Amino acid sequence: MAAPPNRPPLTALSDDESGFRDAVRDFAGSEVAPRVARMDEAQRVDSDLIGMFFEFGLMGIEVPERHGGIDSSFFTATLVVEELSRVDPSVAVVVDVQNTLVNNAILKWATEEQMARYLPRLASDTVGAYALSEAGSGSDAFALSTKAVRDGDGWVLNGRKLWITNGAEAGLYIVFANALPERGYKGITAFVVERSAPGFSVGKKEDKLGIRASSTAELILDDVRVADADILGELGQGYKVAVETLNEGRIGIGAQMVGLAQGALDHTIRYVQQREQFGRPVAEFQAVQFQLAEMATQVAAARLMVYNAARSKDAGARFVREAAMAKIFASRTAQTVSSGCIDLHGGYGFTREYPVEKLYRDAKIGTIYEGTDNMQLQTIAKDLLRA
């Protein structure tokens, strides 16, 4: 068997970043890879694996050490998501949502008391979920119908959330509801809701095309009581929490798609060196070599766009346009590359015997969640015209 292809870093990494990336790569190969097919079939992430994510610090990457995290950078989180996605994008999105959406929102918008209450749990043993979408509120996120009504010294939440990643595993949810409907979208407020709250339940779990091990679930809020202390940010500030957090989340999805594309390419480079036709390895045919070269170039470009957006975020620079560009380009690259990899596997690529089939299915979600391609184009165009 040919050795796995070497992939030198395409941007300067510090020694710490490089070492952490390599450690996650080893972990993904030894612990995640043997479970991939079984988890895809069962449509659930192995609970032992989630425990390992916490044990190795992967669920609290930017969380300060005083709250139980590893106090690293957003860029490090991006590397983690990329490396896990090379093996299984379903597993990667569990870690991605935890870090780029849930933890990120709390780090940016929570009070010190809320951080002390929630971050140690999110870093050590509690999966989080980000509950924004609804049946009638997808790309038009501010059309949500979930309501928060003042009742005494607290609030009562009623509504249903849909398409919630990590919904089935989570113990803590950031739920968006309109507390001041007379103000329109400026009444939307973010609440932190415990899974154990009376009236809160997890509904239907979606049967999906790809990333099947990752749960995508409905959440039901039936007279769920929350306190003022459970508001994340300020009353009526939820639209800002949502928009600004999703900018970071798009970079995470870009990293997921880069890792997926690289994983498919890695499998294919190995395969074409082993597969023989007309008396020689398929890799010796120039047409195949050119296809591989085109795909490798696309992956390299997508990776640099994602890394640039992540570095910009860490530097405190504006990155709205960069995040949208990285997500749309990386998502399209993942689809193009995984499709081309199936072609180079021939008939075998169309079977579940080879991993490229799963990666091809997983790739489709990249152009849909955390903002469709059309929404990314709209964001990019608005930012260009504003400049």
101-123 confidence digits (pLDDT tens):
999 999 999 999 999 999 999 99
Catalytic residue among 17, 82, 248, 370: 370
So what's the pLDDT on residue 9? 38
Q: Does the pTM of the predicted model rise above 0.75?
A: yes
Here the tokens at position 170 are 């989570």
- Which of 72, 55, 200, 186 lies closest to 124, judged by CA? 55
> What is the per-residue pLDDT for 16?
86
pLDDT of residue 12: 66
Q: Which helix (H) or strand (E) holds 200?
A: strand 200-205
pLDDT of residue 143: 87
Tell me what pLDDT residue 256 has: 98
Q: Is 95 helix (H, G, I), strand (E, B) or coil?
A: helix
Integer CA distances (angstroms), 136 to 25, 244, 372, 381, in order:
39, 21, 15, 25
Rg (CA), the chain: 21
Give me 271's structure tokens. Answer: 């395969």
CATH code for 15-126?
Answer: 1.10.540.10
**Are 336 and 359 contacting, i.e. CB atoms less than 8 angstroms apart?**
no
For residue 138, the model assigns a pLDDT of: 79
Element (H, E) at 216: strand 216-227
Within the chain, all domains assigned CATH 1.10.540.10 are found at 15-126
Average per-residue pLDDT for the chain: 95
Residues 327-371 pLDDT 10s: 999 999 999 999 999 999 999 999 999 999 999 999 999 999 999
Q: Which residues of the chain have pLDDT under 70?
A: 1-12
Q: What topology is assigned to 129-236 in CATH?
A: Butyryl-CoA Dehydrogenase, subunit A; domain 2 (2.40.110)
Listed in order, the ranges of the chain carrying CATH 1.20.140.10 are 240-386
Task: Report the distance separating Cα 297 and Cα 219, nearest Å.
Answer: 41
Stretch(es) of the chain classified as CATH 2.40.110.10:
129-236
Report the pLDDT value the prediction gives residue 340, as an integer from 0 to 100.
98
204 vs 16, 93, 143, 148, 165, CA distance in Å? 42, 19, 22, 23, 12
Angstrom CA distances, 334 to 247, 263, 301, 328, 339, stand at 20, 10, 12, 10, 8
* 127 token code pair: 């999966």
Residue 51, amino acid: G
Query: CA distances (Å), 18 to each of 241, 304, 354, in order?
Result: 32, 16, 29
Closest CA to 331 of 382, 374, 289: 374
**What Cα–Cα distance (Å) separates residue 206 from each residue in 1, 139, 209, 214, 310?**
38, 19, 10, 10, 31
Report strand pairing: 128-131 vs 172-178.
Answer: parallel
Q: Helix H segments across the chain?
A: 15-27, 36-42, 47-55, 74-87, 89-96, 104-109, 112-124, 238-274, 286-314, 320-345, 356-363, 373-386
β-pair partners for 176 = 190
Contacts of 80 (CB under 8 A, 6+ apart): 20, 21, 24, 58, 61, 95, 99
DSSP label at residue 237: -
Q: What is the CATH number of domain 240-386?
A: 1.20.140.10
Active site residue 370: yes
